[in-house]
Amino acid sequence: MAFTNQPQIEQVNSLLEKAYLGRTIDLPKSIELAEEALKLSRSLGDKLLIGNSLNKLGLFYMIISDFEKSNAASNEAILCFTAIKYQIGIADAKYTLGSVLYKSDNYHKGLSYLIEALSIYKSHNDLTNLSKVEKAIGTTYEYLGDTVNAFKTYKSAIQNARKTNNINLESNALNNLSGLVLKKGKPTIAMRMITHSIDLKQKSGDIRGYGFALYGRAKVYLRTGEYEKAERDFIEAIRIHEDAVENMGASMSLSKLGQLYFELGDYTKAERTVKKSLAITLSYNISVIKIKNFHLLYQVYKGANNIIASLQFLELYIREKESIMNNQTLRIIENYDLINRMNTLESEAKIQKEKQKAIDKKNKDQKNILKQKQDFLSIMSHEIRTPLNAITTIVSLLENKIKGEDKKLFDSLQFASNNLIIIVNDILDFTKLDSNKSVIEENNINFDVLCSNVLNLYLNAANNKGIKLILRNDIQKQQHYLIDQPKMAQILGNLISNAIKFTRDGEVVFTTQLMAQDAVHDKIRFGIKDTGEGISKQDLEVIFDSFSQIKPITTREQGGTGLGLAIVKKLVSLYAGKIEVESYLDEGSEFYFTIKLKRVAKKEAIEITDFESLKGKSALIAEDTPLNAMLMKKVLTNWGVHTDHAKDGKAALEAAKKNTYDFILMDVHMPVMNGFEATRLIKTLANKNKKTPVFAVTADVLTNEDNNSTHLFDAILWKPLELDKLFEALSNHKLNKKGV
């Protein structure tokens, strides 16, 4: 049978080869050939051929920005390759899926797919595909503002391309690296790189890639003020991309051409050109260019004194950026299991390939994957904590203005926002819990207030489902204990949230009982009981394992990461307790644990800080997020501090040359120049602030892991900012460099 089908198999492979080779010249024809190959493959019922055909179609549709068709083809390809255990095919499909995601609006999930593809290519020593996926990973890092990792990844992509003499891939990575170098303010080096990239494209005959290279050179000309040359290259790049149906390339080139006209003061041309780019990005959901177009149109209309239109596009810009940021936050947490699975893929593949060599290489590979995971967690930390910083700062600013009945609502808001920060931190720091490095940090806490606050967080969720949420507290209302409030709130919050989630009607009862006392401690039993669907005996054995779901059926309507109960188990064990459960199907469940808490007297009221002591001081705020900069400025202004704002590290360096400040508040992740580099230059180059205290203000919880750079800062202040710690830092400059 195989012999009979051999001519048709060869025909499919020939069609796919022609389609791939012709993609740089005539993409519509490539799609037509791949569709023909897929139809023939389906008639043969050959999963390898079907998967290969789908992979090519997914790639081609991704190139023309038809993301829906690309995703459909790539996902079906993964099913085919999984059935026949063909790892390289799976990697190719995940590369395409990752590329679609980072080009639309999901940078983090895109990065997860790309890193999974990278792991497979590494296990097969596939240098060509390594270069291809590294270039995409570098682009994603760049979109996320992580220029350090972007630079490293682009360099690795170039090196792997050169090892295989693939001038197309080398040119692609050089193009991106040139743009990154240009952002760092080095146009001469950028021009040298992009010129070489253009030469390589001319040698290879890759017309579509040549369009991207011309776009790269035009950006350099734009930066150096050579507008005629820039305009010529942009227009030629647009023509090439439109002929090739390369929608993303066309939208990028049109957007930059619009910026050129804006800089020349030709607002009519700028408006027309940017709107043409915007139409493409709206049609194909090319989010990163769409956001830039919103901002550019805001500038164009502002320059043309059309204030109403200017404000409309500013609002669109802010709304779109916040929407994407919020989506990233949710998707990061929902896909935490995907990140962890990534860490095992490479070692498993190597063991299958060659057991003895895999053992020798395992330690080195695991270090590389751990580094990638750390980099990924660093980005996640920054992206999640940045919007939270705005929330908690606004809450702090409103604290003294809320009176009467609204004070109770405000207290709930404050507790909820603080609790959200803690939960996010614990998720990001799950590896710390997993390695038993986390410790209890106790404070004097009113037990009844803590229980009531936790319960209040979930009243709306219970009410919306028509469920009664009841607190039965056996402990005296005025009793205080030494408690790690964030950890205890997360334990109870996870259990109450789960109970509500899996209860359709009835009630959820949160009980606390005093079981025993000695001279110092109270032994207290905590219980969360529901009238929900219950848990099967089989699932009871695994519900406290990481990434397990407690729902005893196969659907996922409730969602969740599967981390909640695993975290609860570890946190309860820190109190020398053990979480247990009793459950009966269709009757309900009770999760309970018993721990000892040390009794303490009611704490005295905290003395109000005299913020007026900073009056008359001056500060430079280096922050690329406008909302966070505005809130920081408002806080410091309330304290009588004069402030200047720099939108990136380069602007901060220029400000440090012109003015003397009492202190500098430096964000770490910024475009053009990051906070590390800016601080290093301020501390070493001639300027008015070489001895000025510089405080890192960052949402990246892994900042203090960079021992080569943290010594630059006088202290590290974590976002979301705690105002008392910010005040302490500015007042005495004596904070621990491990962060506060």
* Strongest mean pLDDT among 398-412, 594-608, 641-655, 663-677: 641-655
Convert the pLDDT of each residue in 203-257 to its tens digit.
998 888 999 999 999 999 999 999 999 999 999 999 999 988 888 899 999 999 9
Identify which has the larger pLDDT, 357 or 512. 512
Cβ–Cβ < 8 Å for 694, 683: yes
> Residue 575 carries which DSSP code?
T
At 342, the pLDDT band (50, 70, 90 cuts) reads: very low
The structure tokens 């290519």 sit at: 121
Share of the chain above pLDDT 70, in %: 76
Q: Is the predicted pLDDT of residue 447 greater than 90, yes or no?
A: yes
Q: Provide the CB-side half-sphere exposure for 502 (13 A, CA).
A: 30
Q: Which two tokens stand for residue 347?
A: 């070692």
Predicted pLDDT at 494: 85
Cα 300 from Cα 261, distance rounded (Å): 9
Q: What is the average pLDDT across 661-667?
A: 92
At 518, the pLDDT band (50, 70, 90 cuts) reads: very high
Q: Which fold has domain 246-324?
A: 1.25.40
At 11, the pLDDT band (50, 70, 90 cuts) reads: very high
Q: Which two tokens stand for residue 683?
A: 């501390």
* Strongest mean pLDDT among 160-164, 403-407, 637-641: 160-164
Q: Provide the CB-side half-sphere exposure for 299 (13 A, CA).
A: 18
- Whether the CA torsion 380, 122, 93, 177 is positive or negative: it is positive
The structure tokens 């039993």 sit at: 525
Cα 480 from Cα 474, distance rounded (Å): 14
Q: Which two tokens stand for residue 584?
A: 């009966």
Q: What is the average pLDDT across 8-13?
A: 90
Q: Can you tell me whether residue 445 is helix, strand or coil?
A: strand
Q: Rounded to the nearest 5°, which phi and psi values hold at 557?
A: -65, -30
Three-class DSSP labels, 661-722: CCEEEECCCCCCCCHHHHHHHHHHCCCCCCCCCEEEEECCCCHHHCCCCHHHCCEEEECCCC
Domains 143-244 and 246-324 share a fold: yes
Predicted pLDDT at 317: 82
Provide the phi-psi class of 555: left if phi over 0, else alpha when psi is between -120 and 50, else beta. beta
Residues 6+ apart with CB under 8 A from 344: none
Architecture in CATH of 411-600: 2-Layer Sandwich (3.30)
C-alpha angle 607-610-613 in degrees, rounded to nearest 5: 155
Q: Is the predicted pLDDT of residue 606 greater than 70, yes or no?
A: no
Q: Which two tokens stand for residue 371?
A: 């580094």
Convert the pLDDT of each residue in 190-201 to its tens digit.
999 999 999 999
The mean-pLDDT minimum among 60-74, 469-483, 525-539, 558-572 falls in 558-572
DSSP string of 593-623? Answer: EEEEEEEEPPPPPPPPP-GGGGTT-EEEEE-
Provide the phi-psi class of 295: left if phi over 0, else alpha when psi is between -120 and 50, else beta. alpha
Convert the pLDDT of each residue in 286-338 to its tens digit.
877 888 899 899 999 999 999 888 888 888 887 777 665 545 443 443 343 33
Q: Can you tell me whether residue 581 is helix, strand or coil?
A: strand
The mean-pLDDT minimum among 16-30, 143-157, 342-356 falls in 342-356
Length of the chain: 740
The structure tokens 């943290």 sit at: 710
Residues pairing with 471 in the sheet: 510
Q: Is the predicted pLDDT of residue 349 greater than 80, yes or no?
A: no
Maximum C-alpha span of the chain: 89
Q: Which two tokens stand for residue 241?
A: 């991309």
Q: Is the predicted pLDDT of residue 62 greater than 60, yes or no?
A: yes
CA distances in angstroms from 37 to 33, 42, 61, 75, 129, listed in the order given = 6, 9, 15, 18, 23
C-alpha distance across the termini of the chain, in Å: 70
The mean-pLDDT minimum among 158-172, 388-402, 667-681 falls in 388-402
Cα 259 from Cα 272, distance rounded (Å): 11
At 417, the pLDDT band (50, 70, 90 cuts) reads: low
Cβ–Cβ < 8 Å for 700, 386: no
**CA 21 from centre of chain:** 35
**Domain positions in the chain:** 143-244, 246-324, 411-600, 611-732
Cα 662 from Cα 290, distance rounded (Å): 39
Q: Is the predicted pLDDT of residue 390 greater than 80, yes or no?
A: no
Architecture in CATH of 611-732: 3-Layer(aba) Sandwich (3.40)
**Which CATH code is given to the segment(s) 143-244?**
1.25.40.10
Q: What is the average pLDDT across 502-513?
A: 94
Predicted pLDDT at 366: 62
Predicted pLDDT at 617: 92
Q: Which two tokens stand for residue 497?
A: 């949230």
